[in-house]
């Protein structure tokens, strides 16, 4: 028996379990599948693997779908858009799994296992103490009918295990090349739990076959699952899909990504102020590189250049500094009106007055070059909303106490008393007149005004700051600095 449907098209899938937020590693897997499907002009399928009844939630599923949409990963088939190979939610496919369990029963390729979790753990520990493999020891493999009846009379409900015969399982991986496993390291594995729900490997094989999946692209933590799945394909007489196992993502300490490394979910990176296009670009380059060597790549460039042959076999290190740099590049490429839209709610949530759209746009124009994450905008923009300016550190205080500062302030107040229109050009002209009037120039001229207006010794270009603050505010802040 071959594929249920004939296809020459690539069909790749992403199949998350709705048991929590979308992990950044799983997002990278979704991106790789999406890029490959689009590169080959194929189909990208979304399947929800929700057979873990205790942990699966509707809220998690909603969150995962929202994150995928935010990343720009549209799917051609899925639980919300439908498709000819559905249902696309495993909890709606239980009858299909039961039908195929019965087929394996009839062919005696599976057997009931009555071992309790406690018994399994005791025997596993005993095997480990003897230096033996921790796989299932086949305790229930040869139970007689009478022994089965005895267990069932005691109220034990069986799981069903697949019979793994003595053989070597070999498959070709598009990233790793030929991969082989010995059967003694696989062991008879469970297909159906005692409650009738399917295990991952079984449901995955049945779904991938009947959804006509041509390529399974996933993290290399699934490599040990693949020989089990290959055995199931063989047992059903089905042709397996092509497999590609992508190296996992490591933290900067080269340990597996976890909460100790900081943010681990897509929603957290979204809240931290990263742009979806930057995150997709960054995650795409973890273990993959473009032929040109370029790192800033549009979606079209990523799609066109995607090739499994350019995926490294080594694990990828998640470099937050590089992500910040890349996100900054994408922020600077934004249209200023789009950037204004993005920072508007952040400024509002920070408690700043956002009633003047013109002012917010002017702030956006001035600060767009200065941020690497959108959430940095509130701290950088606070200088435009403060009613009183205080030096924020000792260096700023020292500037205000310098002998040149009082001369600069006095000259500024004198010259601006007759100024009308207040723009960048006006401010620059005032500073030239102060220099001419006092003989002070360079840092000694500009730094006192910067600290008087912002409280900081570093910041965005001063003429732009002065223009946004307005003449009245500038005079008010300089006068206070002069009197202090």
- Catalytic center residues: 259
Distances (CA, A) of 181 to 245, 430, 467: 15, 78, 70
Determine how many CB atoms are found less than 10 A away from the CB of residue 332.
Answer: 13
Q: Is 325 exposed, middle or buried (0-12, 13-18, 19+ CB in 10 A)?
A: middle
Task: Give the position of tokens 């599923």.
Answer: 61
Instruction: Assess whether the previous peptide bond of 22 is cis (omega < 30° from 0).
Output: no
Q: Which of 89, 92, 93 is nearest to 78 (CA)?
A: 89
Which residue, chain included where needed, has tokens 């003989």? 439
Q: Which of 219, 262, 223 is nearest to 26 (CA)?
A: 219
Q: Are β-strands 242-246 and 215-219 bridged in parallel, bridged antiparallel, or unpaired? A: parallel
What residue has token string 């435009």?
384
CA 367 to CA 385: how far, in whole Å?
A: 14
Q: What is the distance between the alpha carbons of residues 17 and 46, in angstroms, rounded to a whole number?
A: 11
Q: Tokens at residue 207, please?
A: 């779904």
Q: Residue 113, exposed/middle/buried by CB under 10 A (0-12, 13-18, 19+)?
A: buried
């Amino acid at each position: 028996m071959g594929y249920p449907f004939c296809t020459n098209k690539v069909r790749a899938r992403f199949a998350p379990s709705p048991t929590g937020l979308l992990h950044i590693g799983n997002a990278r897997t979704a991106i790789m599948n999406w890029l490959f499907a689009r590169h080959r002009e194929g189909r990208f399928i979304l399947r929800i693997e929700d057979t873990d009844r205790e942990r699966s939630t509707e809220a998690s599923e909603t969150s995962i779908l929202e994150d995928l949409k935010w990343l720009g990963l549209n799917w051609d088939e899925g639980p919300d858009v439908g498709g000819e190979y559905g249902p696309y939610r495993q909890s709606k496919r239980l009858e299909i799994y039961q039908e195929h369990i019965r087929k394996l029963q009839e062919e005696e390729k599976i057997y009931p296992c009555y071992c309790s979790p406690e018994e399994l753990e005791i025997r596993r520990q005993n095997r480990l103490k003897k230096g033996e493999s921790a796989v299932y020891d086949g305790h229930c493999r040869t139970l007689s009918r009478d022994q089965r009846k005895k267990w069932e009379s005691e109220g034990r409900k069986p799981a069903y295990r697949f019979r793994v015969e003595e053989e070597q399982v070999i498959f070709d991986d598009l990233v790793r090349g030929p991969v082989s496993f010995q059967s003694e390291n696989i062991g008879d594995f469970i297909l159906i739990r005692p409650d009738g729900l399917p295990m991952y490997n079984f449901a995955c094989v049945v779904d991938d076959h009947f959804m006509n999946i041509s390529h399974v692209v996933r993290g290399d933590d699934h490599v040990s699952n693949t020989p089990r799945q290959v055995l199931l394909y063989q047992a059903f007489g089905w042709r397996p899909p092509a497999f590609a196992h992508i190296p996992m993502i490591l933290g900067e300490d080269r340990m597996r990504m976890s909460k100790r490394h900081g943010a681990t979910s897509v929603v957290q990176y979204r809240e931290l102020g990263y742009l979806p296009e930057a995150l997709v670009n960054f995650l795409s380059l973890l273990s993959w590189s473009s032929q040109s060597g370029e790192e800033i790549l549009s979606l079209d460039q990523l799609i066109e250049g995607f090739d499994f042959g350019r995926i490294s076999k080594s694990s990828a290190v998640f470099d937050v500094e590089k992500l910040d740099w890349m996100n900054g590049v994408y922020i600077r490429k934004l249209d200023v009106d789009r950037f204004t839209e993005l920072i508007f709610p952040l400024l509002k949530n920070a408690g700043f007055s956002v009633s003047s759209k013109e002012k917010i746009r002017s702030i956006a124009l001035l600060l767009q070059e200065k941020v690497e994450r959108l959430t940095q905008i509130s701290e950088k923009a606070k200088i435009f909303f403060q009613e009183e300016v205080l030096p924020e550190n000792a260096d700023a205080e020292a500037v205000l106490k310098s002998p040149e500062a009082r001369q600069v302030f006095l000259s500024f107040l004198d010259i601006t008393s007759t100024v009308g229109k207040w723009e960048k050009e006006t401010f620059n002209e005032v500073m030239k007149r102060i220099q001419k009037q006092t003989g002070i120039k360079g840092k000694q001229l500009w730094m006192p005004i910067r600290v008087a207006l912002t409280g900081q010794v570093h910041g965005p270009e001063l003429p732009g700051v002065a223009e946004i603050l307005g003449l009245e505010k500038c005079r008010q802040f300089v006068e206070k600095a002069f009197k202090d």
